[in-house]
Chain A
Amino acid sequence: MIRIDAVTKRYPDGTVAVDRLSLEIPDRAITVLVGPSGCGKTTTLRMINRMVEPTEGSILLDGQDIRQQPVNTLRRSMGYVIQNAGLFPHRTILDNIATVPRLLGRSRRQARDRAAELMERVGLDTALAKRYPYQLSGGQQQRVGVARALAADPPVLLMDEPFSAVDPVVRKQLQDELLRIQEELGKTIVFVTHDIDEAIKLGTRVAVLRTGGRLAQYAPPAELLSAPADAFVEDFLGADRGIRRLSFFPSADLELQTAPLVRADADAGTLAARATAVPYLLVTDPDGRPLGWSEPGRLTAGAVDREQLLDYGRPFVPGTDSLRAALDGAVLSPTGWAVAVDGEGRAVGVVSQQVIGEAIRAAHGRVAERAGEAAGR
């Protein structure tokens, strides 16, 4: 555990970058520092590996003051990833990744073997090993940055806006990859970003800082969304906080209807029987994959015209996806019903906006109840 204890940083020019900040950063979780530009995120991060020394207060790593060990020993035990990767332009990808193992005295051979292993772990083709950084895309460079930080297997990983210089598609890939790696390795990660969506997606806990380097709120993302501490946090979370909060509610409990599902090759009898029950039918192929919506009257047995079907929007996977995905599916569907599919993409049922709305209210109710219990205890 990293304990930041009443830390203040005043730069020589008088700027107070961090003001009496106290945080407990749990092991094996991702703690995100988020806040507007200039609120002291980088300063806070750099105080953890002593690239910046606090003016007041102390930082404890597993109960021991970080000033008690030699500074370079401390730094080599903490991986560090920055925007634009900060790779050494004059070293090959492999040697960039091998840097810290080499500093720690590993042989060149061992360090390179380890580096090759890490390239695979972060999803880099080992054919890139002999290249130089200028020969890589921004996203690839960023992966190298992560691999380099992980090379000596440090327990702590400090990341300063590592993904903010790449396009949104690559950023999402890198975020997903980080979550996957974290699942496998369980590092203690401190992650700095100014992107609240990134904070909510990655953070086990999120610390919102305000300008002047003061802590505004420190909470798990779901709690941040449901109960922002003040107007600043609420404002920082943005307009669609209610919708985003749905990401934390599971869709597993939604009651699915199977009656509207018909196969494209259904006979006249089946069609007629279903027609009376619902306003729309979801036509599927023989494997059960959705094709589109249709009004029952427009369907003729054995001769379904796929061109005539209405788009079914984006399906969700109950249990895996959240209520947000389900609601999104329903909003996108021209019929107002969301399509639920299994892992293989076969339709398992449909659900109306109304039912999703009830599920949302129920979920809010459960959160409120739990909060009440917690308060009463």
Chain B
Amino acid sequence: MNGFFDLPSDLGQSWLGLVGLHLREALLPVLAGLLVSLPVAQLCVRFRWIYPPVLGIATVLYAIPSLAFFVVLIDYFGQSETTVMIPLALYSLVVLVPAIVDGVRSVPPETLAAAQAMGFGAVRRYFQVQLPLAVPAIIAGLRVATVSSISLVSVGMLIGNQGALGNMLYAAQTYGRPALAVNAVLTIGVLGMLADAALVLLRFLLTPWMPRKGAGR
């Protein structure tokens, strides 16, 4: 009899090993997406006219199924984690770019005027005023992007077991062990919730300046 956390040996990983792999495959793309989104969003704030086309491109990318990406990317990166992560990173843009743009734009005009009047240069103003004030919006975007990325990693199972926990779904069929599928779905769900909770905690720590719910003024 196999235990709930015992996996078929051809997955090549223990359960914990798959969890680690899953997190890496899900979170690295979001991080990459964030690093791309920050400058792109800043350009969109600076030059308003490029925001609609940028958003259009992000939306189109989001509409392309991952399988289609895989077909193209396999030629360059083979059946690898990279092939799985590139589409995920591109998908995160559709959430992150608008979140950051809205966050930066929501900085009150009088706060910006005050910064300008006190002699902040554009760079200093971005890093010391606009970006910190956009943190709540950025983290809200990161929550959506992270949770969806954690669930999307599973499709990697379609290209030769690159789906981390998703590979267990495939194994469940091959070996006729439905418990593996249940395990995969539950684990992915729990990972999603934990990652979300971690981001909420991060926001709490980064924004002591926000009115707290329930606390008096």
Give chain A's interface residues, CB within 8 Å of chain B: 49, 51, 71-76, 78, 80, 82-92, 99-100, 103, 132-135, 148, 158
Tell whether, in the assembled complex, residue B217 and residue A134 are in contact, meaning their CB atoms are under 8 Å apart: yes
B73 contacts A by Cβ under 8 Å: no
Task: Say whether A91 contacts B209, CB under 8 Å.
Answer: yes
Comparing B9-17, B46-54, B62-70, B117-125, the segment that makes contact with chain A is B117-125
Interface pair A89/B110, CB less than 8 Å apart: no
Complex Cα distance, B108 from A100, in Å, reads 20
Chain A residues, Cβ within 8 Å of B160: none
Residues of B within 8 A of A (CB): 108, 110-111, 113-121, 129, 132-133, 207-211, 217
Note all chain B residues with C-beta closer than 8 A to A49.
Answer: 117
Chain B proximity of A2: nearest CB distance (Å): 16
- CB pairs A–B below 8 angstroms (18 shown): A71-B119, A75-B116, A75-B117, A75-B119, A76-B118, A80-B114, A82-B113, A84-B110, A86-B110, A86-B114, A89-B108, A89-B133, A89-B209, A90-B209, A91-B209, A103-B119, A103-B120, A158-B117
Find chain A residues with CB under 8 A from B207 CB: 90
Q: Which residues of A contact B121 (CB under 8 A)?
A: 72
A-B CB proximity, top 4 nearest: A86-B114, A80-B117, A86-B110, A75-B119
Among residues of A, the one whose C-beta sits closest to the C-beta of B135 is A90
Considering the chains assembled together, what is the distance between the CA atoms of A83 and B114 in angstroms? Answer: 10
Task: Name the distance in Å between A26's Cβ and chain B's nearest Cβ.
Answer: 22
State A87–B121 Cα separation when bound (angstroms): 17
**Across the two chains, which residue of chain A brings its CB closest to B110?**
A86
A357 and B116 alpha carbons, distance in the complex (Å): 52
* A80-B133 contact in complex given A89-B209, A134-B209, A134-B211, C-beta closer than 8 Å: no
- Residue numbers in A under 8 Å from B111 (CB-CB): 86-89
Residues of A within 8 A of B132 (CB): 90
A134 and B210: CB pair below 8 A? Answer: yes
With contacts A132-B208, A134-B209 taken as known, whether A75 is within 8 angstroms of B114 at the C-beta atoms is no
Given A91-B209, A134-B210, A82 contacting B116 (CB threshold 8 A): no
Residue of A nearest to B117 (CB): A80
CB distance from A13 to the nearest CB of B (A): 16
Residue of B nearest to A158 (CB): B117
Q: Contacts of B110 on A, CB cut-off 8 Å?
A: 82-86
Contact B114 A100 (CB under 8 A): no
Smallest distance from the beta carbon of A128 to chain B beta carbons, Å?
13
State whether B114 touches A82 (Cβ < 8 A). Answer: yes
In the bound assembly, the distance between CA atoms of A78 and B121 in angstroms comes to 16
**Alpha-carbon distance A71/B120, docked complex (angstroms):** 10
Please name all residues of chain A whose beta carbon is closer than 8 Å to the beta carbon of B129 when the two chains form the complex.
Answer: 88, 90
Pick the residue among B108, B118, B217 that contacts A103 (CB under 8 A).
B118
Residue of A nearest to B206 (CB): A90
| CB closest residue in chain A, given B215 | A135
